Structure 1
Amino acid sequence: MSTGSFYITTPIYYPSDVPHIGHGYTTVAVDALARWHRQAGEDTWMLTGTDEHGQKMLRAAAANGVTPQEWVDKLVTESWFPLLETLDVANDDFIRTTQERHEKSVQVFFQRLYDAGYIYAGEYEALYCVGCEEFKPDSEIVDGTGEFEGLKVCAIHSKPLELLQEKNYFFKLSEFGDRLLELYKTQPDFVRPASARNEVTSFVRSGLKDLSISRSTFDWGIPLPWDESHVIYVWVDALLNYATAIGYGRDEENFARRWPAYHVVGKDILRFHAVIWPAMLMAAGIEVPRGVFAHGWLLVGGEKMSKSKLTGIAPTEITDVFGSDAYRFYFLSAIAFGQDGSFSWEDLSARYQAELANGFGNLASRTTAMIDRYFSGLVPAPAEYTELDLKIQKTVADAAAAADRFMTDFRPDEAIDAIWTIVDALNGYITETEPWALAKVEAQRGRLGTVLYTAAEGLRALAVLLSPIMPDSTAKLWEALGQSGRLVDQPVREAGTWGQLAPGATVNALAPLFPRVEQD
């Protein structure tokens, strides 16, 4: 295991669902965490991608009169690649489960499980939901109502289930209950937050059944290496992307460098990641992931977003009006990471106005404008620091240390709260010190220089600390402060050390970072 490596993944998304703000939420959270660790000098790798096999995809392609491969190529190109651009995501890799690098390595993995005696053939009869691509546990089967009265339906999709009877291959999941419980006990951080860990622990305690890992009634999938009349069950094939993308079965040196990973997933797919996936890895003799973090659902009008209920909101609906930084800031700060959160246009608009336009943006504009006006656009050298100035220095140092602690702990919302203490303190400091009044008194020239240096140096720290959250506006601020080198190369863990802004640096005029949005 490479201790210096920070490898983090989003779930791989199902491309037939058009990206909505829930997909965007997961992706920007993982991107912000990856950017933070990258800026901390760690060997960081961020993976995202798409899950392209399975019956649902086969049926959608047939309905559209194209091959499954043509169908997924179109979806990925038109919807999923653009999402990363829209949200300013700096992923290192994008895996597609139809790529040869994935398919070949999945076969290597399953041959290994088969040879080790963890896979056997058997008959299977169960209720299957095409929408979930999953044989449903009893807890997720309900009686239909209305047009579906008398039928069993999926509790998630409210659509009738199909009774499937197949000869399948099974993975001996039932043998791993004790080892999984031991894992959760010895590594309490393996599943986070605590509510998710409790849910997984009680699920495993109630007893695990062997898992069907193949399908023989259709062929859109990866064939089993020892029996090509079967394709590997879509969920199991999908989980392996985290290993195949970094070289499992193909580039063992890179795999050793990157693995194990941190997985960030929505809580609805927690069991696959915290139960089935580590059990499969144990069976193959591979180290389990470093941890699985399950975030909550994004609710709109009190309901989980869904394509069938047309409650999905496209990320571009937000970014076209407010910009990508506001999107990233809002979702990462307004929702406690790990819990459900509600989205509303009113809340987004109010936070944009108060925190971004009036708070951070205004602070940046007026500080750079005053340096331009009173010091001909050159950062002044500070004279003697007073208690008031030293208090700002302490706020910056404390906020930077707290933000690093929170980001390391997968709490971007708390990290942003910590960083925002600098914004609030600096705005209060400018109001209290009144640099515009100092500028009228020649004898106060030294004091004016100290005040504006303090404000500008505070902004430098903010640019570095907020860069993983809001890469676009902070890069503009960095440039306006006359700083050399790329902002993304600034060590985030040293951001709180005072005095890094060189006096004499040329400050450039700064257009509003968060322009006013006309309210409809």
Structure 2
Amino acid sequence: MPFYVTTPIYYVNAAPHLGHAYTAIAADVLARHQRQRGEDVFFLTGTDEHGEPVAMAAEQLGIPPLELANRNAARFQDLMPLLTISNDFFIRTTDPEHVRKVQGILVRVRENGFVYEGLYEGWYCPRCADFKTDAEIGPDNTCPIHKIPLVREREENYFFQLSAFQGELEKLFDERPDFVMPRHRYNEARSFLASGLQDVSLTRPRLRWGVEVPWDRSQVFYVWFDALLNYVTALSFARGKQQDLTHKFWPATYHLIGKDILKFHTIYWPALLMAAGLEVPEHVFVHGFLLTPSDDGGEGEKMSKSRGNVIDPFAVIDEFGADALRFYLTREVAFGQDGPVSEGGFLTRYESELANDYGNLASRTIAMILRYRDGRIDDAALDEDLMAEFDGLADTVAGHLDQVEMTLALEEIWKRVRRLNRYVEERRPWQLAKDPEQADELDRVLASLHEGLRVLTVLLVPYLPTSTERLLAALGRPETAFDAARCAPAPVRVEALEPLFPKR
């Protein structure tokens, strides 16, 4: 089955930060894993370049919005290869093809009878680019996300008849309890739906930085409707005008989003697709926030550009490499939950798990095979008790990743990393090497270590693509397909390997 995974598209009102890297890495882990399994994968990311937040940021800098969009979109594009992100396409909402497709789809929504003229009056957050319902307003008419005063707006515009899809959305949620994941996010979306849907603004009359409304050129489309449609529009032109991938990959398998945009992706988005006569995605997976630890030991606050509490992913990559960052972000915070991240936490994970657990295991295993067996593993029998602990591991990891439980999948792998390290201490190959009568046992121990390490490294390919490629080559078994993540020993010759994660 084709597998289509997307990240949200990122606002270009400022440069990328760790939160953007987080979602991109998560989507990349899923895409790489599915490719390992032989699936036909399409992985989309990109930038959201219209709307008031971008226009406001450009105005403060004294430059046109497109200039700011070009500048920051390039930074997001540059970040992807630095993170070793394997996206198949990078969409920009200023792409002319996207603009034309948005106009065409929204004209269809209007022709289907779900657009009308009206007067909007209510509270609006310019940073969220979101009209707030009464239930979404914080103390003293503030935005609960950005902690800034909301703006009272009154404008004539066109409305999307969201309320017409109350029943269809309730049916969707009832029939597909995994439409929104994890379950507590499903409950949140279902609660919003149960409160009753109100029609929402489709267009903005005063803002000029956006996709022009074809039937009324005095208005532009509200940025969320422009942005949400990227997941469909990209498929129609990602491979050029001659190859439309929509029928192959739509509906999307997984949209990965942050919890602050849950309403738009779990309520507005499926309703808009229904209005246009398009299928809804299979799953929307909502992850939590990366938080900065508080001084009093509490949970901390969301890491965000606007609050100035971000960690620079470029700096982390420059010093430690992309694999280290990828590991930390998928390991430290259970995907789907909020959780604190910090430089101190990163260094602890790096030293204790990457350098000591995994890197040291790789170095010791290869060094012992080189020293005691001249770099060769022949047809030695494996330790059956040890290998029994690897039975079913590949299927367990695949099952977790099918549910976007990438932190749980990584923990299953890491349990075996620790087990192999204990095995080294239990069997003490350096002692076996001193006794010629223990030659067969030494062969068995080294072959078991080699095969266990190789299997784990294949399973780690989606998380650590650069390091695992180096290690598998050094182990003499470079194959990365998922079937290779099952114990199948073969004669090999290993090669010396520089430390994968040098200690700092």
- The TM-score normalised by the length of structure 2 is 0.95
2:419 corresponds to: 425
Any idea what SS the aligned residue of 1:75 has? helix
* Deviations 1:483-514 (CA, angstroms, capped at 9, x unpaired): 35xx5xx222x2342224x31x2211111111
Structure 2 residue corresponding to 1:259, chosen from 242, 250, 268: 250
Q: 1:147 aligns to what?
A: none
Which of 438, 443, 448 is the equivalent residue of 2:432? 438
Counterpart position of 1:514 = 501
Which residue of the partner structure matches residue 149 of structure 1?
A: none
2:167 is aligned to 178
Moved over 4 A (4+): 248-253
Aligned-partner residue type, residue 405 of structure 2: R
Q: Identify the match of residue 405 of structure 2 among 411, 414, 438.
A: 411
Q: How far did residue 17 of structure 1 move?
A: 2.8
RMSD, aligned α-carbons: 1.7
1:454 is aligned to 448
Q: Cα–Cα, structure 1 residues 427 and 169, in superposed 2: closer, same or farther, change >3 Å?
A: same
1:331 to 319, 329, 350: 329
What is the distance in 2 between the residues matched to 1:188 and 1:141? 28
Q: Which residue number corresponds to residue 471 of structure 1?
A: 465
How far off is 1:251 after superposition?
7.0
Structure 2 alignment gaps of length 5 or more: 294-299
Listed one character per residue, the Cα deviations across residues 62-95 of structure 1 (whole Å, up to 9, x for unaligned) are 3323222122101111x21222123221111110
Paired with 1:181 and 1:142, the residues of 2 have a C-alpha distance of 27
Q: Distance in 1 between matches of 2:419 and 2:257?
A: 35
SS of structure 2 residue aligned to 1:80: helix
Secondary structure in structure 2 of the residue aligned to 1:112: helix
Distance change in 2, residues 1:395/1:496 (3 Å): farther
Measured in 1, the distance between the counterparts of 2:142 and 2:365 equals 60
Q: Does 1:298 align with 2:290?
A: yes
Q: 2:19, 2:304 within 8 Å by CA — same for their partners in 1?
A: no
Query: Does 1:481 pair with 2:475?
Result: yes
- Which secondary structure does the structure 1 equivalent of 2:493 belong to? coil
Whether contact under 8 Å (1:397, 1:496) holds in the other structure is no
Question: Can you give the 5+ residue segments of structure 1 that lack an aligned partner in the other structure?
Answer: 145-151
Matched, 1:190 2:182: no
* Aligned counterpart for 1:12 among listed residues 9, 24, 29: 9
Amino acid in the other structure paired with 1:111? V
Give % identity.
Answer: 46
Helix, strand or coil: the match of 1:197? helix
Paired amino acid for 1:405: G
**Closer/same/farther in 2, CA of residues 362 and 200 from structure 1, 3 Å limit:** same
* Counterpart Cα distance in 2 of 1:248 and 1:508: 45
Query: In 1, distance between residues paired with 2:201 and 2:226?
Result: 12
Map 1:42-57 onto structure 2 (within 5 A): 42-57=39-54
With 173-182 and 393-402 compared, the bigger mean Cα shift is at: 393-402
Equivalences for residues 107-506 of structure 1 within 5 A: 107-144=103-140, 152-247=141-236, 253-261=244-252, 262-301=254-293, 302-382=300-380, 384-385=381-382, 389-484=383-478, 487=479, 490-492=480-482, 494-500=483-489, 502-503=490-491, 505-506=492-493
Larger deviation: 35-44 or 63-72? 63-72
Question: Whole-Å Cα distance in 2 between the matches of residues 16 and 175 of structure 1?
Answer: 34
User: Residues 110-168 of structure 1: CA distance to partner in whole angstroms, max 9, x if unpaired?
Assistant: 11111111111112222222111111222333455xxxxxxx43232232332222211
The amino acid that maps onto 2:361 is: L
Per mean C-alpha deviation after superposition, the further-off stretch among 391-400 and 218-227 is 391-400
8 Å CA contact 1:193–1:338 kept in 2: the answer is yes
How far has the Cα of 1:226 moved from its partner?
1.6
Q: Distance in 1 between matches of 2:146 and 2:335?
A: 25
> For residues 340 and 370 of structure 2, what CA distance do their matches in structure 1 show?
42
After TM superposition, give the deviation of residue 176 of structure 1 in Å. 0.6
- How far has the Cα of 1:253 moved from its partner? 4.7
TM-score by length of 1: 0.92
> For residue 491 of structure 1, what is the amino acid of its counterpart?
A
